[in-house]
Structures are given as structure tokens and as C-alpha cells.
A and B are shown apart, each in its own frame.
Chain A
């Protein structure tokens, strides 16, 4: 009976019994010692920045994805996998690099590698494979580097200004473009950093990645949906800019101070989500065909 009770426990459950739990607790404490100050700052960024407020949800989503896999995790066997040290050491190198450069992004990314390395070393490849996506998904909680965001915003501002100018002038609206400035007869508009929708693209990519993981069966199908989501988000933002310019031309600069402009971004986001769901249905058709061609 006792043997039967012991055999009822899965490998992973046995791994976290004493003294495994004590070792796991000590390693967790060491990780907290290293990462707590940076992660505390990160939570501050989530709280203070509207653009990164989705960061609060990501750890919960990740935990939910792990919970979903509880039955399959219980059926897998653990192993001690020494090659996990490569990932673990790579994470530590990134941690050092992030510290030397005072780059919080690199520092926080190192956490994902260090954690992955530890899971590989102590729980093995099978269990790590199951947890890879939930851990990788934590990437979306990490605010992107300021330099990267600024560079992206500059390039996108010019592109959006040009495309908006072309679309609006093709519709017969008298408009001039000088750099990122769009001149209408009744108003001057500037395509600012906020107008590029860079951060809503980050949020949409996070959502599309999750949706792809849950709705598609093959890796190719998932990748296709994620890749297509980015231009979809940009198209949605383009429509927002074109409609803002059009409305300003029709109704004047008061549009820019109105509720329309204030909630335009949210409406655009919801419309993009709706298009994403339609896109996912289309990709699912391709994904099903791929799944049939490569069974298992």
C-alpha cells in the first residue's frame, strides 16, 4: 500500500518533496536576491505607464498556461540534464552584461534564460519542453529598451506620415507633407510618437502570440499568425491616422480635442482584435492542412 502510495506520485511531484523543495526554495531565494530590485522597478513601469499596463497580466497568463499542462507534466519523468548549464551560464552572462550596461531590458531577459537553464538542469528536457512557451511568454512583460522604441518610432513616424499623406491626397483632400508634419487647409498635424502605435503593436503581438498558441496546432501555423499580426496592427494604426486626418479636414481641429480622438486608439485596438480573430480562422485552415501532412 505504501509502495502504491509512493508510486502514485509523479516524478515532478517527487522532485519537489523535501529535500528537493528546500533546494528549490534556496535557489528561488538566490534568484530573488539577484532580480528583485529590477523586477520591482519593472512593476513600477507597469503601474506608471499606460502602454505597459498589460505587464500585470502576463505572469498570470503564464501561470495559467502552466496550470493547463498539469496533467501532462505529471505524466513526464524528470532527469538531471547537465547541458542545461549552457543556457544557465548564457543567462548569467546576459545578467552581467545588463548590469555593466545599466540596461534593464538585458538584465530582465537574463532571468528567462537563467530560469530555463535551472529547469533544464534539475527537471530535464521533457518537462522543459512543456514549460518552454509559458516561460517564453514572460518576455512580453518586459518593457522594451528606450533606444529601440525611439528608433522604431522615428522610422514609423515617417512611414506613417508618408502613407497617410498618399491615402488622404488620393481621396482628394488638399494636403501637404513636410517630414512628419501634415498640413491641411484648416489645421497642421504632426505624427507624434504616440501616433505610431508602437506600444499597441507590442500588446497586439503579445495577444496574437497567445491566441496563436491556443488556436493553432502546428508551429508553422502559430508563427504565421504572429507574423501576420504585426502588419495587421500597423494597418489598423494607418486607418486610425487616415480617419483622424479626414475627420480634421471635415470638422476642423476640434476633432483632436474631442472624445473621438481620445478613444480612437481603443476603438482601433478592438477592431484590430476582431480582424485578428478572423485572420486566425483563415490561418487555422492552413494549419489544419499542415497538421494532416505532418501527423503527430
Chain B
């Protein structure tokens, strides 16, 4: 066989083999939650939660297999905490985790940074923090991702972990958690940070018990 003919056969086999592997990857295995997100307790410390369906309009994540939109508030304190949790049993071209770093129309965001939050049960977890603002209106947001029972704040690590799991275990399930709160006019960002980080510190372990892994 001439060299060129043998190269032709090799390249054809590699192309077709890769194509079949791609098809296999695309047919992954969905992984269900340990417990449904709706069973997350409505009472959390001194806060009481209610379903907040109006939040769905802001966060376009219709591709999640399970979603939770809630507002947790404490009586006498106007500033509530908005919680969004989305879980994907499997991801593919048509449905995958979208960055929860959205803004409202006409708003801008900045102050993007990492925050380590101490959690009694889980040690330290890292979230991304940013401030949404429009004029005097401000919203402080924290978000992170959950894969294999770990909290990852870096979207590239999320993708790499999903790729690794897809290759080895044919699964790429993952979740995103986004919490936010509007600041009072006289509230400093540091005060809002303490408020939200206190919430996250106790809420994250509860949430993790609902996740797989």
C-alpha cells in the first residue's frame, strides 16, 4: 500500500472514530438529585422563605431540570435574600449551565471578586461576589457551582470537571447557586456582605445534602 493510501485509511478511521466517540459523549447519563429542591426548608434560622416565581423573569435558565426560586426574609427587616438554585441532571448542546452573572436592563455590574466563606460543616467554600448597580440602587450577588459534592466558583474548572466526568463516568450533572440582596440606601456593602455571607455559611451545607455525590 502506498504511503498516501495508508495515511488516507488512518485519517478516515480517526475521523470516523472521533465522530462515534462524540456521539457517545452526547448520549450521557442523567443523574437525579438526592432530594428535590422544593424540600429545602422554608425556615432558615430567623428567616422565612417563600417561592418567588417573579424571579424567573430575571434569570433565564429554562434548561435546568430542577429550579428553585425563593425569597428569604426576616420580620422587621426589609432586605430579603433572593435564592436561585438550578440543577442539571445532564448537560448537552441545548441545555447547559448558564453563568448567573446577569444584570437587569440598564444596570451594570462590577467589583467581581472571590470570597471565601466559612461553613461549619463544609469548611471553607468559595463564591464569586459582584455588585449590580443602577444609580443609587444596588444589589449584591454571590454565586458558585456545585459538582460531585464540591463547590467550585471558577466556570473554567466547572467545564473541566464536567469534561472529566463525561469522559470517565458519562455524566456531567452540575448545579448553580445564586443568592442576592438589594442594599438599603444607608447600608454599606460590607454590611450587606456580612448579611449574605452569614446566610450562605448556614444554607450551603443544607443545600449540599440535596445534591448528589
Contact = CB atoms under 8 A, between A and B. Distances in A.
Interface of A: 23, 26-27, 30-31, 33-34, 41, 80, 82, 85, 88-89, 92, 95-97, 99-104, 114, 118, 121-122, 146-147, 150, 154, 157-158, 161, 178-181, 183, 188, 190-192
B53 interface: no
Given A33-B15, A158-B110, A190-B106, 9 more contacts: A82-B3, A95-B22, A96-B21, A97-B163, A103-B159, A147-B99, A150-B101, A161-B108, A181-B135
Interface residues of B, number: 42
Interface string B69-109: 00000000000000000000001110010010100001111
B118 interface: no
A99 B26 contact: yes
Chain B interface main SS type: helix
A102 B93 contact: yes
A188 B10 CA distance: 63
B133 interface: yes
B7 A30 contact: no
Contact of B18 (A26, A92, A161, A179): A92
B108 A157 contact: yes
A100 B8 contact: no
A121 B15 CA distance: 14
B14 interface: yes
B7 A122 contact: yes
B18 A33 contact: no
A100 B15 contact: no
Contacts of A97: 163
B1 interface: no
Contacts of A190: 106-108, 134
B135 A101 contact: no
A102 B7 contact: no
B33 interface: no
B3 A181 contact: no
B108 A180 contact: yes
A96 B14 CA distance: 12
Interface in B22-42: 22, 25-26
A211 to B, nearest CB: 34
A147 B110 contact: no
Contact of B15 (A27, A99, A102, A122): A27
Contact of B110 (A95, A101, A154): A154
Contacts of A118: 11
Interface string B102-139: 00001111101000000000000000000101111000
Contacts of B166: 100
A82 B134 contact: no
